[in-house]
Every structure is written in C-alpha cells, then in structure tokens.
Amino acid sequence: MPVSVVEVIKAAKQAFYRGNTKMYALPNSQEKNFILSYVPNIESNDKSILNSFVNSDMSKTLITVQMANIGTNDVERILGELKPKIDKIFPPDKYEVQLTGTSVVFLKGTNYLVKNLFSSLLLAVIVITGLMAVIFSSFRMILISLIPNIIPQILTAGMMGYFGISIKPSTILIFSIALGISVDNTIHFLSRYRLHLKQTNWKVKESILAALHETSYSMIYSALVLFFGFFIFTLSSFGGTEALGYLVSFTLFVALFSNIFVLPSLLLSFDAKLLTKSFKQAKVHVFDEEDDVEIDKLVSEELKDKD
C-alpha cells in the first residue's frame, strides 16, 4: 500500500472516530473543518508528520511505496509498467513526477556498472593485447593467447545465467579480476615456449612439452592458492560476497585448465602459421637463466676493461 499525505488524512479521520476501520477515508466537506484542525500546521516551526510528505509551500508531495527485495530485472519491469500509469494519472504537461528511492538508485547504479563492465573489459583486452604485442611481436600469437582467457569469461557468464545470479557491483568485478590473473599464466607459458623453441631448433612439440614441464607446476600451485583464497568468501552471509567467491573460484579453475590444455593444443594445431618471423625475432627478449654468465668471469672481464 502506498504511503502519502492522503493516507495521513485518512488515518487522522479514523483516529478521530476512535480507530473505527470503516472511517478510514477522506473526510467530507463537513468533517474536514474540525478533523483537520487536529493535524499539526505545516507552516509552524515544529516538526510534524506532514513535513515528511509535503514541502513548506505545498508545491511538492512524496508518495512512498514499499516493495519486496527483488532482482534488478523485476525492478526495471515494474518501473516500465508504472511510467504509463503515472503519466495517465499525472499528465506530464501539468505535473512533474520523479521516481526515486533505493530500488531506483540501485537499478541506475547497476546499469551504469554493467555498461562500464564492457568498457573496462575492452580496455583490459586492449592493454593486455598491447603488452603481448611488445613481448611476442606476432599478431597470430596474440589471437591464440587470448582464446584461453576468453573461455573462462564466457563460461562464468553462462553459469551466472543458468543459476540466476544477477549482475551486482560485487559480481561485476569477477571478469576483470579473473582476466588479469589468467593472462599472467598465459604470458608465463608462452615466454618459456618461445625460449625452448630456440633451444630445440624450432621443434614445436618438444618445446611445448618442455614449457609445460617447467610452468605447469607453478601455474597449478598459484591457481590452488588463489582458488582457496577466493573460495573463503563463500562462507560469507552476504549474498554478493558469497557469489563473488563461487564465481571467481570457478573462473580461475577453468582458466587453469584452459592454459594447460587449450593453449598447448592451439599451438600444436596452428604451429606452421604461428612460427612467423616476427615471433622468432621478438622486440623483448626473455632472459635465459641456462645461459647465465658466471659472476667471477663477469668481474674479471670488468677489471680487464678498467685496466
């Protein structure tokens, strides 16, 4: 039931007749003279109940309606149904009606965050693509490296839709967090892969196996630490934090398998097209600890240069 100054006047009439429920109505022309005299004057300095519903010059009024805790989709649907009815009761050329309240503000904030989610994801992809372009200098390798990082995002979005998890400020953070973490594993693997390509005379299969042997353990250990670190959020009593724990843990779990299985499979499938000259001659060279120079030899060479 809506609460407005009309309900206040109806309740005043009911109270005047000692709480008779049949008297819960607007007073007629005869009753209003002596019933409304008991209502506090809004123009006085004392705070009255009318101050919560109308302003001092009686030009604005407030109508409050309570509703159940529902999702953003239902709130948007209800607001869409209310707008034509409000315009019919209060013509826009005579009245100015503004819809406000926590539900409306939350809906606008959520829609704003959803729009910024896509822009932030796009910006993250552009930045990551730029970094990979500097590191690997191969457009084809950039496309291959992005595929195993997009798969977890798509599966997480599908999981949210399947279980009816709504878009909230807490759940929106999932995609950017998971993308940044999973890309780190991809760059780590591809860096070792290119390094082993030089050592094996550009033999793809041997290089992939060697890179997996070196990087898979660290990828698994770091994924386990992050998985249980975010999974602890599932014990929260707050729904948004609980959903954040489930979804981030799921995304990291899928990203781990994508980087361990999907990425090497793509490299094996498109090896002939990926081993371009630009990939072999990258702008940024990865440090090879196996070809490290001995400290004693380096110091002796520096002394010779000084002499």
For residue 259, count other CB atoms closer than 10 A to its CB: 29
Going by C-alpha positions, the residue among 304, 302, 286 that lies closest to residue 294 is 302
Position 299 confidence tier, pLDDT thresholds 50, 70, 90: very low
- Over residues 272-294, the mean pLDDT reads 54
Residue 112 and residue 169 in contact, taking contact as beta carbons nearer than 8 Å: no
Question: Which pLDDT score, from 0 to 100, does residue 179 have?
Answer: 81
- 276 vs 176 pLDDT, higher one: 176
Tokens of 49: 């109940």
Specify which residues 61 forms β-bridges with. 54
* Residue-level pLDDT at 285: 52
Q: Are 268 and 204 in contact (CB under 8 A)?
A: yes
pTM of the model: 0.59
HSE-up (13 A, CA, CB side) for residue 57:
1
Q: Which residue has the higher pLDDT, 159 or 131?
A: 159
Which whole number is the average pLDDT over 188-211?
A: 85
- String of DSSP letters for 158-218: HHHHHTTPPP-HHHHHHHHHHHHHHHHHHHHHHHHHHHHHHHTTS-HHHHHHHHHHHHHHH
The set of residues, in sequence order, having a beta carbon less than 8 Å from that of 231 and lying 6+ positions away, is 245, 246, 249
User: What are the pLDDT digits (tens) for 208-261?
Assistant: 899 888 888 888 998 899 889 989 988 888 777 888 888 888 988 899 899 899
Tell whether the model's pLDDT for residue 207 goes beyond 80. yes
For 79-93, 245-259, 293-307, which range has the lowest pLDDT when averaged over its residues?
293-307
The residues that bridge with 3 in the sheet, in sequence order, are: 64
Res. 9: pLDDT tops 70: yes
The pLDDT value recorded for residue 134 is: 76
Contact 178, 248 (CB under 8 A): yes
In the structure, what pLDDT confidence band is assigned to residue 295 with cuts at 50, 70 and 90? very low
Confidence band for 286, pLDDT divided at 50, 70 and 90: very low
Neighbours of 272 (CB within 10 A): 8
Question: Could you state, in order of their start, the residue ranges of all structural domains in the chain?
Answer: 5-66, 119-291
CATH topology of domain 119-291: Multidrug efflux transporter AcrB transmembrane fold (1.20.1640)
pLDDT tier, 63 (very low <50, low <70, confident <90, very high otherwise):
confident
Tokens representing 109 are 């904030």
